[in-house]
Chain A
Amino acid sequence: MNFLAYYSINDLIAIAPQLILTIFGFIVTLVDLWLPKTEKSANAFIALMGFILAGIVSVMMFDSGTTSAFVGMIVTDNASLFIDLVIIIAGILAIAMSVNFVDREDINIGEYYSIILFSSVAMMFFASTYNLIVMFISVETLSIGMYILTGFLKNKSESIEAAMKYFILGSFASGFLVLGIGIMYGLFGSVDLNVISASLTKAAAIYKALGILAFMLIFIAFGFKIAAFPFHAWTPDVYAGAPTPMSAFMSVAPKAAAILALMRLLVVGMHPIQIEWTQMLWIIAAVTMTFGNTVALWQKDLKRLLGYSSISHAGYMLVGITAANSLGYGAVLFYLFGYLFMNLGAFSVAEFISKKGDTNTEIANLKGIAYKYPLIGAAMLIFMFSLAGVPPTVGFIGKYYLFSAAVQSHLYWLAIIGVINSAISAYFYLNVVVTMYMKGDTEGEFSILNSGLLKTTILIGAVGTIIFGIFPSYILSIALHSIAF
C-alpha cells in the first residue's frame, strides 16, 4: 500500500487556519510557564496575534475553490472559511473582553487563552467536514474546552454549578450522537455524508425509517449545541454562570460551527429524507422561537435574558434551514455574522456593569446608565434594537432574509410565527432600553469595569451592527455564494 498517494502538503495547506491556531495555542501554553505573575497579559497578546494571523490566512484562502484534504475527511470551502472568520472575530472580541476581566477576577492564567485557541480549532474542524467521526471528535474537543471555560470562576459557586450541568448534559447529548453515528454506520457502512446520502436514496423503506431514527439521534447533539427547544435547558444557566467574556464567545462561536455542520448534515447527508426533516425542523423552529421569547419576558438578569434570547435566535436560524433553499442557507450564514456583533456587544455591556465576582448584572443596574455613560447607553440601544430586529441594524436585515426564504418555500405560517415572535421579543429588549433611559436618577453611582479594550469591543460591536445593517450587500453576497450545496 502506498500511503504517499493519499497524503500531500496540500492537506496541510487546506487546514492552514487551524494549524496556525494550534501552533499559537502551544506557544501560549509554553510561554505561560515562564511568565512571571505580573506579565500574564502577554498571553492575551499572543492569542490575539494567533487569531489575527489565522483570520488573514482564511481571508486569503477565500474563493480558492473547494479543497478536500486527508482522504476526504476535511473539506475546506467558502462556507467553512466564512464560519472560520466568524469564529476568529468572536475569539478576538472575546479575548479583548477578557484581558481586564481576568485580572479583576484573579483568574489570569495562560490556560484560559490556550483553551480558547484549542476549542476554536475544534470549532473550525467541526464546520469543515462531511465525516461524522470527525464531527464527533471535534464536537467533543470543543465541548471539553467550553466546560472548562464555563467553570473558570472557581470561587463562584454558580460558575462551578453551570460547568457541572453543562458537562453532564453535554456528555449525555454526545452519547446520543455516537449512538446515531453507530446506527448510520450499521445501516449504510459509511460515516461519510455523501456516501450515506447515496445509500439512503436507494434504501428500502425499513432502512429509510431506521435512517430517520439515526438522524434524529444525531440531531439531538446538534440541537444541544445550537440550543434548540427540547435540548435548550442548559443555556440560561451556563450563560449566567460562566465568565461573561466566555458566555459571549460561547453564544456565537460554537453555535456558528454547529449550524454549518447541521446544514452539511441535513442538506448533503439527509437530502433523500428532506420532506421528513423539514417537517421536524418546522416544529422545532417554531417552538424554539416561541419558548425563548416568552420565557425571556420574565428575566431580571441581563446575562440570563441574553441566554433565552440566544435560544430564540437559534430558532430564527432554524427557520432559514427549514426553508431548504439557497437563500435560506445564505441568510443563516449572514445572520450568524450579524449576530456575532450584536450579541458580543450586548454581553460586553453586561460585563461593563458587573462587579467583582462577575455579579451585579441585573437589568435594574442599568438604571440611568445612559446619562452617566451616553456612548455605552447608545451602543446598548443599538444592540437591543438589532436583537429585536429594528431597521437599520443588521438584525433586521438578517431576519428579513431568513423570513423571506421561508416565504419563498411557501412556509407562510412559519414566517408569521417568526414575525410575531420578533414582536414579542421587542418587549423585553426595549424594556432594557427603557430601564437605561427612562428610569434613571442621573446622579447614581455605578461600579463599572473600566477597561479600554472592553469599550473598544463595545464600539466595534456597535459599529459592526450599524455598518452591516446599512450596507449589508457585500457580506450578504459573500454569504449567499459561499454555500456550495
Chain B
Amino acid sequence: MANWFIAFIALVLLFVIFAGMVIAAKYLAPREYDKEKYDLYECGVPMVSEFRYFNIRFYIIAIMFTLFDIEAIFMYPWAVYFEELGILGVIEMGLFIIMVFVGWIYAYKKGALVWE
C-alpha cells in the first residue's frame, strides 16, 4: 500500500510541477513580436511567397518513397539475422522484394515517374 501512496504523491507532484511551469512561462516569458518567429517554417530557407501550391506529383513521389522506405526497413532485421535464417530467409526476402517490385512496375507503367 505504501508503494501506491508514493506513486500517488509522485503523480500529484508531477501535476504541480507541470502546472507551475505553464503558469511561470505565462508570466515570466517575454512576448515580443518578431517577423521571423511568425513566419512559415520551411527548412530554414527564406520564403519566396507564402501562397505556394505544391504540385500534386509530390504526393505520388512521397507514396513511392514510402514504398521503398518500408522495403529497406524490413531488410535491416533480415540482415542482422542473415546467418540464422539461411536459405529460407533469402527466399522470403526475395518474395518480399518481388512483391514490392510489382508495385514499382505498376507505378512505372501508370506514369508515376513521368514528370511532364
Contacts and interface: CB of A to CB of B under 8 A. Distances in A.
Interface of A: 1-4, 7, 26, 29-30, 33-34
A30 B102 contact: yes
B96 interface: no
A1 B99 contact: no
Contacts of A4: 86, 88
A7 B110 CA distance: 37
A7 B105 CA distance: 30
B109 interface: yes
Nearest to B102: A26
A34 B105 CA distance: 11
A3 B85 contact: yes
Contact of B106 (A2, A7, A33): A33
Contact of B84 (A2, A26, A29, A34): A2
B41 interface: no
B81 interface: yes
8 contacts: A1-B84, A3-B81, A3-B85, A3-B88, A3-B89, A29-B106, A30-B102, A30-B105
Contacts of B86: 3-4
Nearest to A22: B99
A-B pairs with lowest CB-CB distance, top 10:
A33-B109, A26-B102, A3-B85, A3-B84, A7-B88, A1-B84, A29-B106, A30-B102, A29-B102, A4-B88
Contacts of B106: 29-30, 33
Nearest to B88: A7
Interface in B67-87: 81, 84-86
Contacts of A3: 81, 84-86, 88-89
Interface residues on B, range: 10 to 19
Contacts of A7: 88
Interface in B15-32: none
A40 to B, nearest CB: 15
A381 to B, nearest CB: 45
A443 B109 CA distance: 51
Nearest to B109: A33
A30 B105 CA distance: 8
Interface in B48-84: 81, 84
A26 B105 contact: no
B70 to A, nearest CB: 14
A274 B41 CA distance: 55
A33 B110 CA distance: 8
A7 B88 CA distance: 8
A2 B86 CA distance: 10
B81 A33 contact: no
B105 A33 contact: yes
Given A3-B88, A34-B109, 14 more contacts: A1-B81, A1-B84, A2-B84, A3-B81, A3-B85, A3-B89, A4-B86, A4-B88, A7-B88, A26-B102, A30-B102, A30-B105, A30-B106, A33-B105
A472 to B, nearest CB: 42
A249 to B, nearest CB: 23
A4 to B, nearest CB: 6
A31 B35 CA distance: 56
Interface in B84-116: 84-86, 88-89, 99, 102, 105-106, 109-110
Most interface-central of B81, B99, B105, B106 (chain A CB within 10 A): B106
Contacts of A29: 102, 106
Contacts of A30: 102, 105-106
A115 to B, nearest CB: 13
B11 to A, nearest CB: 18
A34 B110 CA distance: 10
B85 A26 contact: no
Nearest to B98: A26
A113 to B, nearest CB: 14
A3 B89 CA distance: 9
A136 B96 CA distance: 21
Contacts of B81: 1, 3
